[in-house]
């Protein structure tokens, strides 16, 4: 068993600060974040490229790094294109998983409707799926 902490690069912030990550950190976005150093900032993270404290945790950090205005996040001004691409890929994967879960639910509902002889407009339902928020991350 490897210690997950050791898998994360200990990249210093611009000031040279190197922080810690939660013991159970799984989200790949932790590559670009440390836990906020101040004990009053529990649950907040520090963005490694710009050293901003991001409230709302690792998920909000992703929007900050990706430059996506969601949950009131301010875009990171120091993130490199490569880092941005990494985060965009993370978000796209998460959205794809979500979409697959929705598709599986849809197939289930269609099967139930069929067994009950109830009308089910698969095409309409699929179109609704295409409009679920977040689809924009797939590029």
The whole-angstrom separation of Cα 25 and Cα 102 is 26
Tokens describing residue 18: 């190197």
Those residues whose C-beta lies under 8 Å from the C-beta of residue 102, and which sit 6 or more positions away, are 129, 132
Residue with smaller CB distance to Zn ion, 29 or 47: 47
- Exactly one of 45, 58, 76, 91 binds Zn ion (CB under 5 A); that residue is 76
Residue with smaller CB distance to Zn ion, 49 or 87: 49
Residue with smaller CB distance to Zn ion, 76 or 91: 76
**Of the listed pieces 2-10, 39-47, 91-99, 123-131, which binds Zn ion according to CB under 5 A?**
39-47
Residues 81-100 that bind Zn ion (CB under 5 A): none
Those residues whose C-beta lies under 8 Å from the C-beta of residue 33, and which sit 6 or more positions away, are 21, 45, 46, 47, 48, 54, 58, 61
Residues in touch with Zn ion (CB under 5 A): 47, 49-50, 52, 76
């Amino acid at each position: 068993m490897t210690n997950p902490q050791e898998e994360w690069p200990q990249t210093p912030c611009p000031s040279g600060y190197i922080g810690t990550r939660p013991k159970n950190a799984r989200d790949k976005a932790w590559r670009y974040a440390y836990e906020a150093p101040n004990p009053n900032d529990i649950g907040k993270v520090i963005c490694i490229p710009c050293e901003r404290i991001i409230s709302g945790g690792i998920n909000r950090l992703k929007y900050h790094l990706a430059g996506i205005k969601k949950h009131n996040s301010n875009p990171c001004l120091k993130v490199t294109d490569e880092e941005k691409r990494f985060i965009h890929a993370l978000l796209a994967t998460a959205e794809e998983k979500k979409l697959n879960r929705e598709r599986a639910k849809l197939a289930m509902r269609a099967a139930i409707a069929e067994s009950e002889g109830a009308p089910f407009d698969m095409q309409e339902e699929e179109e609704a799926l295409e409009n679920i928020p977040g689809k924009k991350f797939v590029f």
